[in-house]
Structure 1
Amino acid sequence: MNVSVFSTEELHQAFGIEMSSVEKMGAGAGWGRVAPGVTSDPHQHDEIEMFVVVAGTGWVAFDGRRVRVEPGTVCQFEPFETHVIENDGDVDLVFFDLYWRDPARAAESAAAGGTRRRFHERPVFVFSTPPTPNGDLHLGHLSGPYLGADAYVRFQRMRGTQAWHLTGSDDFQSYVVDRARREERDPARTAEHYSAEIAATLRLMDIEVDQYTVTNQDPDYREGLRGYFSKLVGSGAVTVQETAALVDAETDAYLYEVDVAGGCPGCGGATSGNICEECGEPNTCADLADPRSGRSDAPPEQRRLPRFVLPLHEFGGEVADHHRLGRVPARLRALAERVFARGRLDIPVTHPSDWGVPPAESGAAGQVIWVWPEMSYGFLHGIEALGGRLGRTWQAAAPEQDWKFVHFFGYDNSFYHAVLYPALYRLAHPRWNPDIDYHVNEFYLLEGGKFSTSRRHAIWGKQILRPETVDAVRYHLALTRPEERRTNFELAAYTETVQRVLVDGWQGWLNDLGARVAGQYGGTAPDAGVWTPEHTAFLNRLGIRLAALADSYGQDGFSLNRAAAELDGIVADTRRFAEAEARTAQLAGWKDEARTAVALELAAAQLLARAAVPVMPRFAARLAEALGKADLASWPAQVELVTPGTRIDLEQQSYFAALPSDWPPAGGVQA
């Protein structure tokens, strides 16, 4: 017999609490102690783990749930299930810990979503960064957050998840003021115009948005934002301080964001005010090297101005804990480490301006809440507005622990989303531990250069999107979008994708399959007959493609690059299979095997229709109709044969269209 008695002398720091090890238990074992007021670090691992509480009371949080624990409570966690133990009592919370490896359970858990085993049971709010209404959306914009969020939500709904896509127009950006100044109209009219244009482009792209918040027009937005900001001030962390700022020496205009440029204090490269697009690190404008004003040719002057300021450097631990809870790509974690390595970073969260929402508090007259901290409230406001239409009681002022956030944004917005917002949420809602997954994209280039309105170097959504082109555009952008590195849109490559992959490849195979079904089986799906080893091997390959697609669309491994490649892989595998089977298709002695081969090709076509829904919804719907209305509402659990006798109408279908001969339009690819 092996006996272990709890001993404080054997405890050491681990996971933010105190732990010990017990040997010779047949599994990993130890004692844990959580002091009053202490919470363990969020963490997950490949072992199954069991807590047996023997003293004290508190909470165990896992995957959006909080469970009360007391002596006699036993909690078991599956592999990769994020968990936290918290002591809110007055005495030590003591538990016995057992953990062991089960490779099969670990593999099953990873395939099911790993750290998010309850993902499909929770409300999932998927946000694409609210676009700035200072212009319409070009392919660079569309390829990133908007296509990503749309495909993500479509797949999650097929899996039975309650998922919604939320975005809107970020009306109070300084970039709207700059555009209004150049167009000689007021910011409100400018924002209203471009917000409507953006919404129209999203519709052309078949991007479905469940909540589109127009911040300057929503009647409840301003007061809700003021209330949120008051909570930040009420925390005692956000205070009015006189800190260094830049002003234009000739016009006396306050300089930030679009109105100032210089050297990044982080990487040393060229940057605009407040954020560096290259390294992602923030600046306060006053710390720019060799700053240049956008309002005159005079060198900017540095002055000390009173503004509401957040001492962000005090929240490194909280942000690190947050990054252990959800899906946070390594590049975002590395960015946070660089930011907090600076030692001190006081971030002004109000700026002098007459465009925006002034805080309710005094002390910074003539200032408005900075639009980037504002956005953290905007996400909560969007949930409340969506809930009002759905009959849900969601409240921006009282976020719920069960909410799951998924953010899609470009890397240049990473600091705000993954560093600043977790700190703000901790101040505004101390008892809420937001569970957020982050999906970030890099820059999408156009013919080797950045998309640029001023240089007439852009392809706008409205120039290329038509009912007959939208699926091809969505597919090519999915295939080439900049997920982990910068990628490049080339018109010649897009044209080749449409012709070689989609028209000659996919459509050519489907038309040929339809002709063979019509000629050999009277236009209806044949039943499978005799199976050969090649048939079972092909069915297995389709199953592998299905699993890879589920992983590529899923919450942990999301990648539209891989999903697009897997969709084309279904067609490539099937064409090779069909070419091999054609050698015996017309031989009288192999008719039973031949109809099995055709039945498997139809199964591949049906799989293509169902698996293409997140990326190419129109194509998927038309192909499903041609296959006898295949089910597109749910994700397939396995590859299925088309019901024998189903009417098949593939032979004459045209799914994709090349760009018209007069494209690009006269004057180039600029709106």
Structure 2
Amino acid sequence: MNTPVWITATPPATHGELHIGHLAGPYVAADVLTRFLRAEGEAVRFTTGTADHASSVEVRALRHHRKPEEVAEGYRAAITADWLRSGVEFDHIVRPRKDRGYGRWVRDLFSRLYAQGVIAPRTRLLPFCEPCDRWLYGAHVTGTCPHCGAVSDGGMCHECARPNDGGDLIAPRCALCDTPAVAKRCRRLYVPLEPFRDQLSSYWDMVELPPRLAALCESLVEDGLPDIAVGHPAHWGLPVPVEGFPDHRIDACFEAAAMHLFDYDTTGPLPRRAIHFCGFGHAFCHAVLLPVLLLAQDIKLPQEFNVNESYVVEEGVGEGNVWALDLLTEYGSDTLRRHVLQARPTGRRTVFQRDRLASARTELDESWNSWLTRLFTAVREECDGLVPQALPGGAGWSVLERRLRRGLDDLREAYGPDAFDPRRAVAVLDEMVRSAADFGHVNAHERCRPTTACRHLPALAAQLAVASALAAWARPVMPEGADRLAAALQVEPGRPVDMTALAAPAPGTRLAPPSGPVFGF
């Protein structure tokens, strides 16, 4: 059996619930690709984890006078529930505080890299908050990014994706008490990237990076690859397993990169293809640190990157109105998945607008569900609810069939990993449904012709064939509605996105349409 395609999505920090920007970023898109490949018969392993040891978890715990482990566990449960409700189905979600052997595995990897000289001690300036008596790193410190001028946490700027060393931040302040930080010398453990210059450059030349990510990597090389802190004096996280650093914890970015390797056994056969989905602000961990961890172990893994920009909330929309749970409850997974794929922030920042989410529901109701309701009603009234004894046909059927074939080529290209474009997939599906609805309206008049009996039945069979195809073709985008449609037509769910799906159910099959809408609710 071939080794599977490996698809990963960025592990989210468990300091809060998922919001619509998370779904518009890596998670739904990665699920679409996974579902398409599986329908094609490809072996796929789809994985992620939760960044329970992120510094933002401890900051939230301190602000609300809770224990970090309580915050992490509570939000981890909420996040995984939101994934499930939105139809994002992972093969494995790494749970840092639950998965057996995880902590030991990460510490062993850290120790090996230290022994190899990949990790080395350095003494640098690090912000310190005197009122809190706390070293400031990660989410504990806020300031201005020295590279792009954006507001940034310590360690990584999520605007330009370039690392900083905490002490590099301009005007750093304590995130908890807002006191200006004092720079103090601190001895920590680092991964110096400069020794990997040639290997990383060759790797990036081999990988087809998205343009903005390629620009980031080339800039890092041009400016001199930095040393990346992989440990901090802290109370939260996995202990650094190196003598002389008793109160230090492993950095969350290092752990997020290593987490992917824990989930995929690198001692066995490597995947023939690895595709990472991440937001640009997290791209450094995937495109720089993860390859270094692999290269340090003499593992050459071809990787591809599907990078999204930020999906931000427009002014005037309260944060409480954009949580995934609330929107899934109000709109359902079909509507929300369809919307975030249409609005996916590819190549540029996108602003969430609730009226466009409402428009996605309207499109499903007035186009998709309206056509299917008319079709099921016609079959019930004209054929007693049974698939007619007729071959697909009707006025314009040959034209519609050719259009569907051409559309299917576009759809398969948009679903495929080489030209992945879920926004295009939604547009193609919409056009198919509108064409089928127009075909149904035109041929409905055949019932009124007194000279030829049953002339309208081939058109019903043709529309049932299109509906059967959509149960397969739309499933990567809207799995809940597609499976509901497959059940109504009594056809197998999860079929390949190809022309074999364009076939009406067997004549005489009794349809079982749902009592409510097929797609959405």
Q: TM-score, normalised by structure 2?
A: 0.92
* 2:231 aligned with 1:350: yes
- Distance (Å, rounded) in 1 between the aligned partners of 2:398 and 2:520: 35
* 2:343 aligned with 1:489: no
CA deviation map 1:441-463 (0-9, x unaligned) = 221222347x8xxx745422222
Tell me: CA distance 1:529–1:620, structure 2 relative to 1, closer, same or farther (3 Å). closer
Q: Give the residue type in structure 2 aligned to 1:433.
A: K
CA deviation after TM superposition for structure 1 residue 160, in Å: 0.9
Tell me: CA distance 1:187–1:538, structure 2 relative to 1, closer, same or farther (3 Å). same
Which residue, 278, 284, 288 being the options, matches 1:419?
288
CA deviation map 1:364-400 (0-9, x unaligned) = 33111111111222112123xxxxxxxxxxx35x253
Correspondences of 1:29-428 after superposition (within 5 Å): 121-383=2-264, 395-396=265-266, 398=267, 400-402=269-271, 404-427=273-296
1:608 counterpart residue number: 470
CA deviation map 1:454-493 (0-9, x unaligned) = x745422222324982222222222222233222332222
Which runs of no fewer than 5 residues in structure 2 stay unpaired? none
Q: Give the residue type in structure 2 aligned to 1:473.
A: L
**Does the 8 Å CA contact 1:244/1:286 hold for their aligned counterparts?**
yes
- Distance (Å, rounded) in 1 between the aligned partners of 2:196 and 2:146: 20
CA deviation after TM superposition for structure 1 residue 620, in Å: 0.9
CA deviation after TM superposition for structure 1 residue 533, in Å: 8.5
- Distance (Å, rounded) in 2 between the aligned partners of 1:468 and 1:264: 38
Which 10-residue stretch deviates more, 458-467 or 503-512? Answer: 458-467
- Distance (Å, rounded) in 2 between the aligned partners of 1:647 and 1:209: 34
- Distance (Å, rounded) in 2 between the aligned partners of 1:598 and 1:216: 55
- Distance (Å, rounded) in 1 between the aligned partners of 2:3 and 2:47: 16
Relative contact order (alpha carbons < 8 A, sep ≥ 6): 1 or 2 greater? 2
- Distance (Å, rounded) in 1 between the aligned partners of 2:451 and 2:238: 79
**Does the 8 Å CA contact 1:514/1:651 hold for their aligned counterparts?**
no
Tell me: CA distance 1:537–1:425, structure 2 relative to 1, closer, same or farther (3 Å). same
Tell me: CA distance 1:399–1:368, structure 2 relative to 1, closer, same or farther (3 Å). farther
Tell me: CA distance 1:425–1:529, structure 2 relative to 1, closer, same or farther (3 Å). closer
- Distance (Å, rounded) in 2 between the aligned partners of 1:180 and 1:425: 33
Correspondences of 1:21-36 after superposition (within 5 Å): none
Which runs of no fewer than 5 residues in structure 1 stay unpaired? 1-119, 384-394, 659-671
Structure 1 SS opposite 2:396: helix
Structure (1/2) with the larger strand percentage: 1
1:635 counterpart residue number: 497
Q: Give the residue type in structure 1 aligned to 2:358.
A: T
Which residue, 408, 413, 436 being the options, matches 1:546?
408
- Distance (Å, rounded) in 1 between the aligned partners of 2:176 and 2:486: 57
Tell me: CA distance 1:217–1:584, structure 2 relative to 1, closer, same or farther (3 Å). closer
- Distance (Å, rounded) in 2 between the aligned partners of 1:529 and 1:124: 39
CA deviation map 1:201-244 (0-9, x unaligned) = 22222222221221023331111111111222233232111122
- Distance (Å, rounded) in 1 between the aligned partners of 2:59 and 2:442: 62
Tell me: CA distance 1:171–1:481, structure 2 relative to 1, closer, same or farther (3 Å). same
Tell me: CA distance 1:529–1:405, structure 2 relative to 1, closer, same or farther (3 Å). closer
**Does the 8 Å CA contact 1:530/1:593 hold for their aligned counterparts?**
no
Q: Give the residue type in structure 1 aligned to 2:290.
A: Y
Correspondences of 1:498-577 after superposition (within 5 Å): 498=361, 500-526=362-388, 534-577=396-439
CA deviation after TM superposition for structure 1 residue 650, in Å: 4.4
Query: What is the root-mean-square deviation in Å for CA atoms of aligned residues?
Result: 2.6
* 2:323 aligned with 1:460: yes
Tell me: CA distance 1:468–1:179, structure 2 relative to 1, closer, same or farther (3 Å). closer
Which residue, 288, 300, 307 being the options, matches 1:433?
300
Identity of aligned residues (%): 32
CA deviation after TM superposition for structure 1 residue 542, in Å: 0.8
**Does the 8 Å CA contact 1:513/1:650 hold for their aligned counterparts?**
no
Which 10-residue stretch deviates more, 455-464 or 163-172? Answer: 455-464
Tell me: CA distance 1:298–1:553, structure 2 relative to 1, closer, same or farther (3 Å). same
CA deviation after TM superposition for structure 1 residue 653, in Å: 4.8
**Does the 8 Å CA contact 1:543/1:638 hold for their aligned counterparts?**
no
Structure 2 SS opposite 1:347: strand
**Does the 8 Å CA contact 2:6/2:275 hold for their aligned counterparts?**
yes
**Does the 8 Å CA contact 2:440/2:459 hold for their aligned counterparts?**
yes
Structure 1 SS opposite 2:303: strand
1:59 counterpart residue number: none
**Does the 8 Å CA contact 1:523/1:648 hold for their aligned counterparts?**
yes
Tell me: CA distance 1:478–1:456, structure 2 relative to 1, closer, same or farther (3 Å). closer
**Does the 8 Å CA contact 1:469/1:656 hold for their aligned counterparts?**
no
Q: Give the residue type in structure 2 aligned to 1:307.
A: R
Q: Give the residue type in structure 2 aligned to 1:253.
A: R
Which residue, 624, 648, 652 being the options, matches 2:486?
624
1:117 counterpart residue number: none
Structure 1 SS opposite 2:59: helix
Q: TM-score, normalised by structure 1?
A: 0.72
Q: Give the residue type in structure 1 aligned to 2:278.
A: F
- Distance (Å, rounded) in 2 between the aligned partners of 1:346 and 1:651: 59
CA deviation after TM superposition for structure 1 residue 590, in Å: 6.7
CA deviation map 1:509-541 (0-9, x unaligned) = 011112223333443334555968932221011
- Distance (Å, rounded) in 1 between the aligned partners of 2:330 and 2:46: 22
Q: Give the residue type in structure 2 aligned to 1:646.
A: T
Structure 2 SS opposite 1:465: helix
CA deviation map 1:80-119 (0-9, x unaligned) = xxxxxxxxxxxxxxxxxxxxxxxxxxxxxxxxxxxxxxxx
1:598 counterpart residue number: 460
- Distance (Å, rounded) in 2 between the aligned partners of 1:122 and 1:590: 57
Tell me: CA distance 1:585–1:326, structure 2 relative to 1, closer, same or farther (3 Å). farther
1:469 counterpart residue number: 332
Which 10-residue stretch deviates more, 584-593 or 269-278? Answer: 584-593
Q: Give the residue type in structure 1 aligned to 2:308.
A: N
- Distance (Å, rounded) in 2 between the aligned partners of 1:151 and 1:640: 21
The total of aligned residue pairs comes to 520
